[in-house]
Amino acid sequence: MKAQIQHLPRLFIVSSGREHIDAWGLAMQQATAISKSGPVMFQLREKGLEAAQLYNIACRLRPLLDTSGSLLLVNERADVALASGARGVHLPESSCPASSIRKAFPGLLAGQSVHRIGAAVDAWKSGVDYLLFGPVFATPSKERFGPPQGLEELEKVCRSVSIPVFAVGGITPEKSFACIEKGAWGIAAMTPFLDAGSLPATIDKFRCYLPS
Amino acid sequence: MKLPHRFLCVITDDHRCPVELARLALDGGARMFQLRRKSASGRELFEWAVRIQELCRQHEALFIVNDRVDIAMAMHADGVHLGQEDLPAAAARAMLGPDALIGVSADGVNEARRALEDGADYIGLGHIFPTYSKDKPDPPLGTSVIGEVKKVVGLPVVAIGGIGPDNVEEVMNAGASGIAVISAVSGAQNPTAAARNLVRRIWQ
């Protein structure tokens, strides 16, 4: 799997978390828009959905994302990821241990969210393929993870691990550049990508500030 | 994986420590234990599941995880129990392999038949009696459906929903292979005694 990791897309889009309210809505629209622009990492993070619904939506998203070479990652549920043919699983910090998930699901790409440098190093040592680190900048949606970690902390994390790190939390196209300068592989966000209509243009804006 | 004959399955509630409940229930003769806590993190479920699986092995009881096939695979549980809102049993079977125990919740012949086609090993049939453990808008099924499902579908039936010492006999006489309870054991002051009493009545 290591060879493919060199080619992970730089842009990491997190789903709205509102599919249980607006069923079959935004995620499908996003995936359709991505299929015309891609490739990106797309994390299906819908804690309000039961496993059957999550599975159904993942099965529908996957072919759309495949057409652009985008990677579908299911939040937390490696079982749903494997069953739906998704590329991987994204583990929250309080998940089932990554090392156990790795062993039980060897074919899946596995990444993890971390909010401190210590956790980042632990996650890297447990064998995950990539990290999401943040919040780097202030953002309402990440307030529960404490104050922003800042670019210096991002740089320390990137120097402490040898897997791709995606910066998350308050990222704009302009701020993406600073994150890359500090050693981030790419950036992750939810809010800028919520308007499916302007999604291709938004993706292009971010791409301007990201290495190809 | 082979189901025990005439058995008690104890399911966790949202209050008692799952590991402690497993210890008490197994001491009382439960032959199957199910971990179900929707609000718990993956880490919590994994840690509890590892310890409960160990206890179950010591007692020669079966351990199954509700809904979370990922947790069951990560810590090698004996199996899973899937509700109608969970992953399809066929998908779980494909991942878990032929040896894992897979139970599926059903409310009658139609869902039970589908579970059979999907590769389920047993049917969790309910709710048989009125129950307050879950928010159930539908009326209880009564015991006659147990024999019906058993006859039409042919899988072992584990009856669930409002089962306690006073109606165990009726459920077993209707053809159930076992009973699954939440509050009748986890809500008891002495879960071991409550489990022991249910097991005794299962065999009466």
Please count the structural domains in chain A: 1
- pLDDT of residue B102 exceeding 60: yes
Residue-range definition of the domain harbouring residue A111? 2-208
**∠ CA(A48), CA(A52), CA(B144), 5° rounding?**
115
Residue B29 and residue B57 in contact, taking contact as beta carbons nearer than 8 Å? no
Amino acid identity at B179: I
- For A152-197, write each residue's pLDDT tens digit: 999 999 999 999 999 999 999 999 999 999 999 999 999 999 999 9
- pLDDT of residue B174 exceeding 90: yes
Q: How far is CA A155 from CA A64, A91, A150, A181, in A?
A: 34, 22, 9, 9
- For A20-57, write each residue's pLDDT tens digit: 887 558 999 999 999 988 799 999 999 999 999 999 99
Task: Please state the three-class secondary structure of B80-130 as a single string.
Answer: EEECCCCCCHHHHHHHHCCCCEEEEEECCHHHHHHHHHCCCCEEEECCCCC
Residues of chain A positioned with their CB less than 8 A from the CB of B70:
76-80, 89, 96, 101, 104-105
Which residue in chain A has the smallest CA separation from B91? Answer: A83
Q: How far is CA A192 from CA A45, A150, A171, in A?
A: 16, 20, 9
Residue B130 lies in a domain: yes
Residue B81 lies in a domain: yes
ipTM reported for the complex surpasses 0.85: yes
- For B123-166, write each residue's pLDDT tens digit: 999 999 998 765 667 899 999 999 999 999 999 999 999 999 99
CB contact under 8 A, A100 and B69: no
Please count the structural domains in chain B: 1
- For B19-34, write each residue's pLDDT tens digit: 999 999 999 999 999 9
Residue-range definition of the domain harbouring residue B104? 7-202
B41 an active-site residue? no
**CA distance linking residue A126 with residue B202, whole number of Å:** 46
Residue B2 lies in a domain: no
- pLDDT of residue B172 exceeding 70: yes
Here the CATH number for the domain that contains residue A55 is 3.20.20.70
Which residue in chain A has the smallest CA separation from B84? Answer: A52
Residue B53 lies in a domain: yes
B91 closest CB neighbour out of A55, A103, A105? A55
Here the CATH number for the domain that contains residue B107 is 3.20.20.70
B38 an active-site residue? no
**∠ CA(B37), CA(B38), CA(B39), 5° rounding?**
95
CB contact under 8 A, A52 and B70: no
Residue B49 lies in a domain: yes
* Token couple for A45: 């993070």
| For residues A131-160, average pLDDT | 89
